[in-house]
Structure 1
Amino acid sequence: MSFLTLTHIKKSFGPIQVVHDFNMSIEKGEFISFLGPSGCGKTTILRMIAGFETTTDGVISIAGKDQNGLKPNQRNIGMVFQAYALFPNMTVFDNVAFGLKIAKKPKAEIESRVKEMLKLIHLDHLADRYPYQMSGGQQQRVALARALAPKPQVLLLDEPLSALDAKIRVSLREEIRQIQRQLGITTVFVTHDQEEALSISDRIVVMNAGRADQIGSPSEIYNHPQTRFVASFVGTLNLIDAKVTDAASNTIQIGDQQVSLKKPLGKANGETVTVALRPEAGSPAESAKGDIRLTGKVASSHFLGSIIRTKLDLGGTMLSFDMFNDPGISPPTIGEAVTLKFAKEDLMVVAD
């Protein structure tokens, strides 16, 4: 049985509907990321789970218990915000102890639990400091410890890393995931950063205009996007509008060349179909294997450190491909003819 379920969830602000019939079942201990651009509804769903927003329609349940009629402080949920929201006049110890004191836990239990949480986030040596005496990363770890101290059933994270610099963000997201696994707590994480979502999630919900365009594991979302939006939003991707020339043999025309795909196109001759190809899928190497070959002229080539990203002009259609930087091999030059080889299954048909 699923632990956290959202059934036919809808949310409107006046005449504007921001969440459309959202459904999802989350297992106990899962780490779920809601990924999408600003205004797509991901934070609204998080706030409805927390009880800060009421649902216009639908039911939210945790461990089989309907949450709709409960206030935020009755839901046994921990939440970490983007802006830390620590109490500036309290020490680290008192910030972490706050929820336990509100719950009127015994003093000995509070002290033991706070010490346990500070040890978990590796800040037990800073218990007497105030928020202003700490870095942004340290403050966010304290906010995480405060949310976890009362032993919530569900942990909600609302873009908790977006205010931090890149290096700290990477280390802290790994630490959050490690702590989540250690505690086995069901976690919902909201982010607009695809790398964050791909690196730490069990499953990802890609939100688009109040709807879940796709729900799946990071590899499913990246390797098999189901819609044009998911394909364009997650990772770097070539989206190509091709013409169906022979539906019976799944043959399409890309630029001035024809290729046959592995899967049925679902389109008739003469219709346009959108196909997608990851830049890393193809290779120009002589030894490369592949059922499909596309030849074009190099329009541009950019050195990006570990990779070289090159754009090919396929008779008016542009296609990007990546190759690893090899000091012994010269990068492609503008105007050079290059043949890209890749497997049929690498070329994906995506819905509009």
Structure 2
Amino acid sequence: MADPFLQIEHIRKSFGPTTVVQDFNLDVGRGEFVSFLGPSGCGKTTVLRMVAGFEEPSSGRIVVAGKDVTRLKPNQRNVGMVFQAYALFPNLTVAQNVGFGLKVAGMPKPDADRRVAEMLNLIKLPEFGDRYPYQLSGGQQQRVALARALAPKPKLLLLDEPLSALDAKVRVSLRDEIRMIQKELGITTIFVTHDQEEALSISDRIVVMYGGKAEQVGTPFEIYNRPATKFVANFVGTLNVLEGVVSDAAAGKVRISSQELSLKGKLNGSKTGDQLSLALRPEAIALGPKPGHDASLQGQIADVHFLGSVIRVRVGLGSGIVSLDTFNNSATPPPTVGDKTEISFSSNDLLVLH
């Protein structure tokens, strides 16, 4: 990245003897939407709070638009933040909440009123200015929190799991609105979530975190299709993991449940007798042969779950089980539990996990 807007350089954070963020590095481009994705306790919110100024790094530095802000207070950074809890002032109206930061900054009231009106239009609540937070739904309250963060025209927008308190349907709708608003304003954004679908659907890039470290940084396509570590592969999306043994390293052959596959070019220096974990996404597998599929395994139907448009099939392969999804076809009945079957896939879709 030639000229990053946000630079996080060798950030580390410890609380007493416990290190929660370890040598974290990231460059974010101007106008980019980057999600921090990972399980609870992985350090993603701590990194966000250090960027916001609510936590001070134990070491490392944070640079925004060429300016080192590492030791600056939150109100000196021109950063907007939206929290998981809406954190609205219950005694203030919607308009007063949105305009709070403008009032603190000393903006003249006519200018502040115009900006508040712009923000209420942006979040599609132009008629709600006189209401109080308790008169709003959860989704509406989070929209107001977003408008309040954006009103002072911050350089960065930081969102800390802003959708986790909402029901599923509202979450999907609001995340799409957040992305639309972010694109419209062109504001550089960091979004923290533990929801993989959220991160995959709205991000330019994703930082998958685990144990205080960035396991992998990449586009949603790269993170899903080419996971760099076993953790990323298991955390992002549904994954089948096949345990195998290299039966002939020179020929690139691996034995899985007494069946042999040819994986030339994928063994990465493994030797004959080495154990390997091979990952395969459910959508990469077909029941029976399929054009373009150069690998197959014999198995037995273990489970069949009808999910409407999709039928999820689990196939036993001796010592292991793989899941695959097929589209529901009213003219073709689903397979029967206990039937012998063949699954096929492209060897290019197999990932060797480390």
Q: Does TM-score exceed 0.5, indicating one fold?
A: yes
Q: Which residue of 1 aligns with 2:343?
A: 340
Flag the 1:262–1:309 CA change in 2: closer, same or farther, 3 A. farther
Find the residue that maps to 2:54 and give its secondary structure: coil
User: 1:260: how far off?
Assistant: 1.1
Count of aligned pairs between the two proteins = 351
Q: Deviations over 1:269-312 (max 9, x none)?
A: 10111110000101115554301011101111111222111111
Q: Is contact 1:32-1:203 (8 Å) kept?
A: yes
**What letter corresponds to residue 120 of structure 1 in structure 2?**
L
Q: Is contact 1:18-1:209 (8 Å) kept?
A: yes
Q: Which moved more, 1:69-78 or 1:323-332?
A: 323-332
**Normalised TM-score (structure 1):** 0.98
Q: Which moved more, 1:237-246 or 1:83-92?
A: 237-246
Flag the 1:160–1:55 CA change in 2: closer, same or farther, 3 A. same
Q: Deviations over 1:218-257 (max 9, x none)?
A: 0100011111100100000001221111112221111121
User: 1:324: how far off?
Assistant: 1.0
Find the residue that maps to 1:330 and give its secondary structure: coil
Flag the 1:26–1:262 CA change in 2: closer, same or farther, 3 A. farther
**What letter corresponds to residue 178 of structure 1 in structure 2?**
M
Q: Among residues 74, 82, 85, which one is paired with 1:83 in the alignment?
A: 85
In the alignment, does 2:347 pair up with 1:317?
no
Q: Which residue of 2 aligns with 1:29?
A: 31
Q: Is contact 1:254-1:317 (8 Å) kept?
A: no
Flag the 1:29–1:212 CA change in 2: closer, same or farther, 3 A. same
Find the residue that maps to 2:91 and give its secondary structure: coil
Flag the 1:153–1:262 CA change in 2: closer, same or farther, 3 A. farther
1:1-352 alignment, distance < 5 Å: 1-266=3-268, 267-351=270-354
Find the residue that maps to 1:53 and give its secondary structure: coil
**What letter corresponds to residue 214 of structure 1 in structure 2?**
Q
Q: Is contact 1:236-1:279 (8 Å) kept?
A: yes
CA distance in 1, matches of 2:291, 2:332: 15
CA distance in 1, matches of 2:35, 2:246: 36
**What letter corresponds to residue 84 of structure 1 in structure 2?**
Y
Q: Is contact 1:256-1:314 (8 Å) kept?
A: no
Q: Deviations over 1:63-122 (max 9, x none)?
A: 111111100010000000011000000011000000000000111110111100100000
Taking every aligned residue pair, what percent have the same amino acid on both sides? 61
**What letter corresponds to residue 296 of structure 1 in structure 2?**
G
Find the residue that maps to 1:124 and give its secondary structure: coil
CA distance in 2, matches of 1:127, 1:319: 53
**What letter corresponds to residue 317 of structure 2 in structure 1?**
L
CA distance in 1, matches of 2:15, 2:333: 57
**What letter corresponds to residue 96 of structure 1 in structure 2?**
V
User: 1:262: how far off?
Assistant: 4.4
Unpaired segments ≥5 residues, structure 1 = none
User: 1:263: how far off?
Assistant: 2.8
Find the residue that maps to 1:300 and give its secondary structure: strand
CA distance in 2, matches of 1:62, 1:150: 17
CA distance in 2, matches of 1:5, 1:304: 45
Flag the 1:271–1:71 CA change in 2: closer, same or farther, 3 A. same
CA distance in 2, matches of 1:230, 1:260: 25
Find the residue that maps to 2:261 and give its secondary structure: strand
**What letter corresponds to residue 326 of structure 1 in structure 2?**
N
Find the residue that maps to 1:94 and give its secondary structure: helix
- Two-structure CA RMSD over aligned residues (Å): 1.0
Q: Is contact 1:289-1:341 (8 Å) kept?
A: no
